[in-house]
Chain A
Amino acid sequence: MGLGVAVAVIKCKQNQALLALTTAALSLPGLDAKAAIPVSEAKANFQYGHYQESDNRMKVQIYHADMVLPLADRFELTFSIDQDTYSGATPIFSLPDTMKNQPKRKKGTAIFIPTDIVTSASPVVGTFEVTSAMQAYKIFEDTRAAYIASPPPGATFAGSFITGYSAVINKMVPTGDKVSQTFEPHPQETRNMPILGFNYYFDDVMLSLSGGISDEPDFKSSFGSLNLNWELPNKLTTINFGYTLTGNNISRAVNHSGEEHVHIEDQDYPELDEQSLFHGFNWGVSQVLGKNTLLQLNSGYTRQAGYLTNPYKLVYVRGEITAEEYHDLSEKNKIFQEVTDLEIMGIELFREVRPRERNQWTFSSQLRQYIPAADASVHFDYRYYNDDWGIDSHTFEATWYQSAPGGITIAPNVRYYSQSQADFYAPYFLAPRADGMYSSDYRLSGYGALSGGVTFSKEFTKGFSLEAGFEYYTHQGGLKLGSDSAGDFADYSSYLAHGALKIDLSNPGRLLSGHQGHHHGHHGAPLPAGVMFGHMMENAGDMMIGYKYMMSDRDGDMRFGTDRVSDQAISDNACGSVKCTFKPDAMVMHMHMFNFMYAPTDWLNLMLMPQIINMEMVMEPLKGAAEDDSHEGGHISDGLGDTLMVALFKLFKTTGHKLHLGVGFSAPTANINATLDGTGLADSERQSYAMQLGSGTWDFKPSLTYTGNAKDWMWGAQVSATKRMQSRNKEGYALGDEIQGTVWGGYSFLPWLSGVVRGIYSVQGSVRGESIIANSQSAPNEFPENYGGQFFDIGTGLSVSSPSGEFSGHSLSVEWVQPVVHDYKGYQFEREGTLSVNWGFAF
């Protein structure tokens, strides 16, 4: 090993780095401030993801938007929002196969019903005949029943009964028995996660601060993080430090707590209300190894403390409660807490318990290598994970980014993951554990997973790009590195499909419009936030993205025609031939609409508006009505709404006056089969027409808009309609047609601030046909004749827009629309005010 070899092995230019280091450190005259880390230009990202597991297990729709906005030379704002809607079935516990799906036959019939031994407290009595393996259990139960009916004097339950019981149970789990999972359908739930952050750029250091919340019905989390990124003077090495603090609040949603799966009477456990706190630290270094090579090494430590258990999963533990204790519980009225610390959910079935602390370590490396000959880059990632629950894992991932002509990138990817099982994991427990920790959550078992996917993206010249990708993932016990895998009972697979629209204004195609030459000022007067299709862009090639948020929160009275109406009248008349038992008490609706507009010519604009809707309705029993629990607990529906596609045609324009025509269609992209029980199953009762996310029909939406302005004044008018193009949707009905006229006037108090007032008159038809799948028929909103009417509302609002400078091209408006006069068809829940907020960015 000589000097020559050493130098030849490392093919580098000599000394540049070290020179830079020393001269910079000496701050020689003539050399100015160190070079800065560039601040990015504005960027926005909109992404949709669809995750689906095999066998109708979990299904998740993920909507995501994020943006980075430079606020000053060294300061940028980051914001992201996620909404996940998930439903489907998840495994709740696992049992030896011989204890599951024992056939129970109804006497005198040929019908066999599969039964889990543990879920039926008294499975073998009554009208059911049992077969084979359950025979021994039946004999034991019969004998015990006889003992209870007439206990022999001086005898106790101990002795032969315990031996007999143990013999029966032991026979039921021969060694090497297969494991089966029991699933629980999960009603639809939605999680929202907004995150706000700031980045500040010093000369060589970037400081990031961010915080956010993750909100779902049974888990609320708040988190904040601080990150420091330091580029060393040699500009080849960057050091990173980060800290994240997370606080969580955990509860248990009643509708899928597992209580309805197992039958255990007289439970007296407190409701779940627990906390956990995580401290996470990470540090790393990234190093340029060559012209085409970058390597990053990272390490992290997280300490989790508090309630770390899964509130829904159960475990089968034999021996935790002895046969005598079972007898005492049922015959001598002992309470559960006297017999075990675990929460009882069935015979030998308990809620899982995990430790209240978890220390996690990760070590990872990321290599990025550019291959000039192929104009491609290859990424290799490796992560080693270890925690004090006994789990350690290895993750290997490789992605090849291939550039193709036309701004296209194709990126195939493969990932292999292997983990060992937690110390307290077993598919079921044949004896209690000394430490009292138990989990049968397949995610803590020993297994391997392999996934492969590909992503396509294309960059367009205007600074935006489109992306779509697909990845298939398979979880298999057999793929685990080494031994001790969980076997294949928990195997499943899933796929993740995604699509994204990215806008990056720092693209060469967009760059110079940032500070100079931004000739697309926001022309024309700002519109009221609640008006749709009202604005046309004037120059070919212009684009605009926007977001509109609408919210209404109603908790008023029921109406008929123009009058308030009593509960008695509703009960007698509003539900067709039956008596109503419920009426709406409150309804909250949030609509998020994303607007993408493009002007191919100066007389035509094309718009695409997908939307996401979140609705919640709470019902109240009518006074004097019969008992009914069909609407207990309120109803939610969340998800994608119908998608609007509109073309706007410029008809007429002179100084101060503009007229344009809108020709649009609403595509029925929303699911209209939201069910009362939240499972979305085909034959479950449907929610009412008002709670469905869309119309289910293709709708024609024409509009004619006139706007005028003079000096600081502006005004306008619009006529628009919605005509359903199909007489019935797949559920058997069609919403009513609508027509609306609106007139507004406004004044600009300041160059950037204006106020607007408007009047809106609308006529809506009632629902035609009726839902062919049953809804519960117990409330007025479930009947088609209780929809429609004529309404007059007044809207007031403010608009902010920046004609020049850092924020030119952005506009923000807010409007409150208040119902003033209404004449309802049938019996309806009163309309109340709606808030609209509209943000648009033209570029």
Chain B
Amino acid sequence: MNILYFRSFIVFLFFSLQGCSVAPWERGNLAKKNMAITVNSGLSALRDHAFTSKEASQGGYGGAGGGCGCN
């Protein structure tokens, strides 16, 4: 019984690690503008800059950008 559970788990893992397979023609919703990781690059950069100037945490957004002598 334990071995069965173990093997099932392996198969489960295998399927789940593949990720859900989405066919190339089913990508319509993923291609929508509002499904992008960054929908609004201008606004994201602006907010990013505001938060970085006023909070101690930096980064985590993956964008390039210079420092600033934010007082």
Contact = CB atoms under 8 A, between A and B. Distances in A.
Interface of A: 1-3, 5-7, 9-18, 45, 47, 49, 51, 62, 64, 66, 90, 186, 191, 193, 195, 197, 210, 212-214, 216, 218-219, 221-223, 225, 227, 234-237, 240, 242, 244, 246, 248, 250, 278, 280, 282, 284, 286-294, 296, 298, 300, 302, 310-313, 360, 362-364, 366, 368, 370, 372, 376-377, 379, 383, 385, 387, 389, 391, 393, 395, 401, 403, 409, 411, 417, 419, 422, 443-444, 449, 455, 467, 469, 471, 473, 475, 494, 496, 498, 500, 502
Nearest to A507: B33
12 contacts: A6-B12, A7-B15, A13-B21, A13-B26, A62-B46, A66-B41, A197-B64, A227-B64, A237-B19, A286-B37, A500-B42, A500-B43
Given A300-B62, A372-B29, A475 B69 contact: no
A163 B37 CA distance: 63
Contact of A16 (B21, B41, B64): B21
Contact of B29 (A186, A248, A291): A291
Instruction: Label chain A's interface by main secondary structure.
Output: strand
Nearest to A91: B71
Interface residues of chain B: helix, strand, loop or mixed (majority): loop
A13 B56 contact: no
Contacts of A15: 21
Given A7-B15, A45-B41, A216-B69, A210 B64 contact: yes
Contacts of A411: 34, 39
Contact of B50 (A51, A302, A387): A51
Contacts of B46: 47, 49, 62, 64, 496, 498
Contacts of B65: 193, 195, 212, 223
Contact of A393 (B16, B37, B57, B71): B57
A572 B35 CA distance: 70
Contacts of A11: 20
B19 to A, nearest CB: 5
A16 B16 contact: no
B71 A1 contact: no
* Interface size band for B: 35 or more
Contacts of A214: 66-68
B35 A377 contact: yes
Contact of B37 (A294, A403, A473): A294
Contacts of A193: 65-66
A302 B15 CA distance: 35
B30 interface: yes
A247 to B, nearest CB: 9
Most buried by A among B11, B34, B35: B34
Nearest to B64: A225
Contact of A364 (B22, B55, B56, B60): B60
Nearest to B26: A291
A425 B1 CA distance: 58
B11 to A, nearest CB: 6
Given A1-B5, A498-B46, A500-B42, A449 B55 contact: yes
B56 A419 contact: yes
Given A6-B11, A298-B60, A64 B45 contact: yes
Nearest to B66: A214
Given A214-B67, A393-B55, 19 more contacts: A5-B8, A6-B12, A6-B16, A10-B20, A47-B42, A64-B46, A66-B42, A237-B19, A284-B62, A362-B57, A363-B60, A401-B39, A403-B34, A443-B56, A475-B54, A494-B50, A494-B54, A498-B43, A498-B46
Contacts of A360: 58-59
B56 A391 contact: yes
A391 B12 contact: no
A41 B25 CA distance: 22
Contact of A282 (B22, B59, B69): B59
B19 A287 contact: yes
A395 B15 contact: no
B18 A18 contact: yes
A806 B3 CA distance: 64
Contacts of B18: 17-18
Contacts of A289: 19-20
Given A292-B29, A370-B30, A223 B67 contact: yes
Which of A13, A212, A291 has the most chain B CB atoms closer than 10 A to its own CB? A291
Contact of B8 (A1, A278, A286, A287): A1
B15 A195 contact: no
A288 B24 contact: no
B20 A288 contact: yes
A377 B34 contact: yes
Contacts of B30: 288, 291-292, 294, 370
Contacts of B71: 90, 186, 310, 312-313
B62 A290 contact: no
B29 to A, nearest CB: 5
A1 B59 contact: no
Contacts of A296: 37
A409 B34 contact: yes
B40 A10 contact: no
